Chain A
């Protein structure tokens, strides 16, 4: 679809030209603007600080009418990310009923960053992480830091 190509190219140029702090972007394959590699720094003050997290952003063919898909390629202990090889993430802006065609990838990226800094345990996909986050924060932080050291260095 030509229109989505133009829009994606423009968004890519914006993100590359003026990347948000702590986020680096490049295409998985130079000829295909639909798959983006993202490297996100763990936010300061969070148990993910010091870690570098790889994510994959996939834009469907009917983007921007359908939301992008984003997943963690680096394992992360986080209430809103599945602790498995899929690294699926639950984030409000990407839910079909919340996504609007004028929503931008940039907001997806910053929303993801915010989610790292502030998990939303009520929207959890990794329930055991959410339980610990709610009931035993020091333990959760310790574990999240350990996993960050183990997987995200």
Chain B
């Protein structure tokens, strides 16, 4: 049973870290330096403060929708008290200043009129917004003037009927997804509609959508907040990593919904590769640019019908199979014109022919190199999917194990841990290949590849054990082996990531291909 204890402490350390991050946030947010001019990535500091924190971990905090709303409300209340303005106006001002409270207060103290004007609040008259029936009113939008027509005007005094207002707002909210900056419908009026007035003018479903959009703008306006990209997840993550730090750190965060993603670019966790490299790599894979290179090295388009033609013989007199167009492979001109200018075309061939051969050779070598890394990258992606299928069967396996061997629920959790380790390690391995593609050859790279190899061998070994059938899995010996291997995989991953992150933070990687 002692191994069980080991396993429990070893396996759950990851989760502990996540919990710890949330608990320690108040303390550690400061030393992470949200407002510090020099990006102190806090590696050494963190090691002192939190022994368990790994070098490649970043501080972050998960917020639920109600937290995000509460944050906005707090800021609004604060501005409402300090500047003594209506809450609706405070909200509009804050949105105008992209939730930078300090700048808002400073600017407002300096010249309140100009700030109000710029934020679309104009001169203010007190009183809550209300619908009114004004005798002799004619709506400037629909030209209706029937008696009893309900109308509304914001503080700017531009009055329109409720129906037109409703349609205008519906279009802005539903079609244009606009919320924070909807202006008065009057031509040239920049006054922004506030939440209270809006609630008076539209139906409940639009109100809800409007408030959702408003909350979105709060998160989108703040550099250190991002939405969790997982489908149906409504949480936001706070992290102090700034855009300019992204060449030195890969900020992977984990939402409460368990989704692991990069705070820098919102893609799924891609440690150890930095965001810019990931972007380049994905573009390269998507373009299938190497195929394109081959096509450009070996084929041309028929000048008449644009079919792609591969030259398979020595003769430059080409006849397109599709449209029967006859042309010269070298100059792409009409073959019929070659009676007199043939000599020129021939000399052109000598030069460009050797160039084409060089280009072709270069293209081949770089293609092979790319395929080496791509195949391994793609293989881990594929294997992770297969492991996941097995993971889905794991639960059934664990139940079977419980009844077959009489083990308790807690005693079969090692399979779950193994499965999770496989997922995270493969995700890491996958990106090590994209990373390696861009690396130049030197000692550091060799150490990196050694780490990569160690992790890969451990992962493949674990993956193999994991596929055994229930009877075998129930054997105590295999169970211990799986637990040891799981723990080893996790350790190898941490070593690889720590090493890579350290070199990245210190800027000592040298790149063979710029990204």
Interface residues of chain A, those whose CB is within 8 Å of chain B, are: 3-4, 6-7, 10, 62, 64-66, 96, 100-104, 107
Contact = CB atoms under 8 A, between A and B. Distances in A.
Given A3-B164, A65-B171, A100 B186 contact: yes
B143 A102 contact: no
A101 B166 CA distance: 12
Contacts of B188: 100
B448 interface: no
B143 A101 contact: no
B375 interface: no
Contact of A102 (B140, B144, B167, B171): B140
B157 to A, nearest CB: 13
B80 interface: no
Contacts of A6: 142-144
A101 B141 contact: yes
A3 B163 contact: yes
The 5 closest A-B pairs by CB, nearest first: A3-B142, A101-B141, A103-B187, A7-B143, A100-B187
B185 A100 contact: yes
Interface of B: 140-144, 158, 160, 163-164, 167-168, 171, 176, 183-189
Nearest to B186: A102
A96 B168 CA distance: 13
Contact of B141 (A66, A96, A102, A107): A102
Given A100-B183, A104-B187, 10 more contacts: A3-B141, A3-B142, A4-B142, A7-B141, A62-B171, A66-B171, A100-B185, A100-B187, A100-B189, A102-B187
Nearest to B181: A97
Contacts of B167: 65
B142 A102 contact: no
Given A7-B141, A65-B171, A107-B187, A102 B163 contact: no
Interface centre among B168, B184, B189 (most CB of A within 10 A): B168
Contacts, number: 43
| Main DSSP-derived SS at the B contact region | loop
Nearest to B145: A6
| Main DSSP-derived SS at the A contact region | loop
Nearest to B163: A3
Contacts of B142: 3-4, 6-7
A101 B186 CA distance: 7
B183 A102 contact: no
A26 B163 CA distance: 30
Contacts of B158: 102
Contacts of A103: 187
B168 A101 contact: yes
A64 B141 contact: yes
Contacts of A66: 171
A65 B168 CA distance: 6
Contacts of A96: 176
A103 B185 CA distance: 9
A8 to B, nearest CB: 9
Interface centre among A4, A7, A66, A104 (most CB of B within 10 A): A7
Nearest to B140: A102
A6 B139 CA distance: 11
A27 to B, nearest CB: 18
A101 B164 contact: yes
Contacts of A104: 187
Contacts of A62: 171
Contacts of B143: 3, 6-7, 10
Nearest to B176: A96
30 contacts: A3-B141, A3-B143, A3-B144, A4-B142, A6-B142, A6-B143, A6-B144, A10-B143, A65-B168, A65-B171, A66-B171, A96-B176, A100-B183, A100-B184, A100-B185, A100-B186, A100-B187, A100-B189, A101-B141, A101-B160, A101-B164, A101-B168, A101-B185, A102-B140, A102-B141, A102-B185, A102-B186, A102-B187, A104-B187, A107-B187
B336 to A, nearest CB: 34
Contacts of A7: 141-143
Interface centre among B142, B158, B176, B189 (most CB of A within 10 A): B142
Nearest to B171: A65
Contacts of B140: 102
A137 B52 CA distance: 72
Nearest to A96: B176
A129 B140 CA distance: 38
A4 B168 CA distance: 13
